[in-house]
Amino acid sequence: MHSVNSSSVSFSALGRRAEPPTIARLMSMALEQKGLLSLAVGFTDNRTLPVRGVKATVEVLAGQGGEPEYLQYGTNQGRPGLRQLLAERLVMAEPELKANAVAESLMITNGSQQALYLAIQVLCDPGDIVLVDRPSYFVFLEMLTGLGVQARSIPVNAAGQIDGKALRQSLVEMEKNGETKRLKAVYFVSYFSNPSARSLAESEKNTVAQVLTERGLIIPVLEDAAYRDLYFRQPEAARSVLGLSAWEAFPKLYLSTLTKSFATGLKIGYGFCSDKAWLKKMLHVKGHHDFGTANFNQAIFEHVLAGGGFEAQLARIRPAYEAKMRCLHSVLKAEGLSALGWRWAEPTGGLYLWLEAPPALDTSMDSAFCHACIREGVLYVPGDLCFGDVAPKNFVRLSFGVLSESDLVEAGRRFVTVAKRFG
């Protein structure tokens, strides 16, 4: 009877702030262009998805005796068996932790994204400030904006490493402006980062802790380890904040995901929180969001982790992603992008190449360069989206996760073709 109306709705402050993600604009620009090759989205490789593993797991679950509790509601915090397995896995990387204690303080979420959202919801009011790595995860940055929270970059040097002296200066300035009382958390993606593919050295993490401690700012830290398992050859040696004594006094939330490394369609992340009160608050709010992540998906992961299927899948995809990285990296080199003054490091894990264009070249969303790339049939994420503040416009994130090797070669060629035109 009714058609869909135009709106007369009065929105909350949060509702008024909610804006379409900038990436959505990029995607809709892209949709108008057929045959476009996307190096933009951080999807994973369809060809290595664990089709047989998931099928076999569901068959095992269905064949178990007893009641099929895996199809029933689970608990708000997540399956105890899955939490225990995740805790044991975390303790392998951080041997100072105790698995049983970790399992108790771990929550299962709808991807690690929900854990990030819950953390910021319970910590920050509009107007508050969060320190972020530089560059940082752009979906997190947009989420902060949605919650009315400001991002402030942790300064880095020319090599992209955390600059303790500049951080101290920045915090002193914030003290002068009366802003430190609004500084509520610090966030970084520390392993094969999205977007930079860098890992933070222990010394860099320690520097952040030391400078914060020196300024009397014992604030919650969120370490996003979403890509920690996605190394190519060997794990990143740096311990997380959970194992570093410089961070001992800080409330810590360590986040990661099972799905980026297994099957993104299952959407299971988790957070381990060192602070019981903080964990409880997040769980109470999760009770309001959804009172528990899909128990079926958790049961699948519990089985896959217990039976070794998770490690087997990782062993399968690591060389596949390394080959894809090398493929894109090589074509950019071979086509002459470095000679045009572009710089990037060859990553040792993750899903991204992070390119720095010559300083004068604008690669942001509305730039001539970006439009030319789309016309040429290649899509990327403009790097300026990935900065919490003072965003340079000459960075580009390329994802090698999705495309086949032949498409990566073609996409790389198209990209360099445009770069030459602007070079």
Q: Which of residues 124-163 bind its own copies (CB under 8 A)?
A: 124-125, 128, 139, 142-143, 146-147
Tell which positions 335-364 bind its own copies, by CB under 8 A: none
SS3 379: strand
The answer to whether 268 and 301 are in contact (CB under 8 A) is yes
Report the nearest approach of its own copies to the CB of residue 121 (Å).
6
Q: Give yes or no for a cis peptide into 80 (omega within 30° of 0).
A: no
Toward its own copies, which CB reaches closer, 179 or 372? Answer: 179
Task: Determine which residue in the list 67, 177, 233, 237 makes contact with its own copies, applying CB under 8 A.
Answer: 67
Nearer to its own copies, 259 or 363 (CB): 259
Compare residues 261 and 394 and give the one whose CB is closer to its own copies: 261
Question: Please, which residue, 166 or 294, has the CB nearer to its own copies?
Answer: 294
Contact range with its own copies by CB under 8 A, out of 273-281, 306-314, 333-341, 352-360: 273-281
Regarding 208 and contact with its own copies (CB under 8 A), the answer is no
Selected binder of its own copies within 31, 35, 59, 360 (CB under 8 A): 59
263 in contact with its own copies (CB under 8 A): yes
Of residues 53 and 361, the one with the C-beta less far from its own copies: 53
Shortest reach from residue 63's CB to its own copies, in Å = 8
Our finding on whether 187 is near its own copies (CB under 8 A) is no
Q: Quick check: 3 binds its own copies (CB under 8 A)?
A: yes
Residue 67 Cβ vs its own copies, minimum distance, rounded to whole Å: 4
CA distance linking residue 34 with residue 31, whole number of Å = 7
Q: What DSSP string describes 278-312?
A: HHHHHHHHHHHHTSS--HHHHHHHHHHHHTTHHHH
* Distances in whole angstroms, Cα of residue 101 to Cα of each of 87, 258, 289, 303, 408: 8, 20, 25, 21, 44
Instruction: Please identify which residue in the block is written with the tokens 């993490």.
Output: 205
In the bound state with its own copies, the residue whose beta carbon lies nearer, of 172 and 277, is 277
Give the span between the Cα atoms of 202 and 302, in whole angstroms.
31
The encoded tokens of residue 409 equal 């070669």
Q: What angle do CA 234, 235, 240 make, to 5 degrees?
A: 165
Helix (H) or strand (E) holding 269, with range, is strand 269-273
CB of residue 275 to its own copies, shortest distance in Å = 5
